[in-house]
Amino acid sequence: MRVLTKADALSLAHFAEYLARWHKATEALARYGDVLPVKDGNGQVVGMRKSPWVGLQLEYGVMVRRYAQEFGMTPSARARLTGENAETEATTFSRSKALAS
């Protein structure tokens, strides 16, 4: 099923960029943790704050999901795909399953 065209190149590039950024944020969270210490002028820890990587990971994750949906890469997006190939594949699968029984 050939559905991508040259016109999709920019969107695909954006998808790849957000995915790479999501991976970077995820790696930073694994390395530094979800919270960071807040220190006073003497270097003493006086509290904790949320890591900025948490927000970035969430933001990039939302964008990755949006692009994945656009390209039919989520279960719900695949369920909405229609066309001759999808119907033929479903029919072929049903027939082969019935024959195997």
Q: pLDDT tens digit string along 70-96?
A: 888 888 888 887 655 555 555 555 555
Lowest mean pLDDT among 40-44, 64-68, 92-96: 92-96
pTM tops 0.75, yes or no: no
Model confidence pLDDT, tens digit, residues 3-34: 778 888 999 999 999 999 999 999 999 999 99
CA dist., res. 28 & res. 78, Å (int):
32
Give the span between the Cα atoms of 33 and 56, in whole angstroms: 13
**CA pair distance 9, 48, nearest whole angstrom:** 42
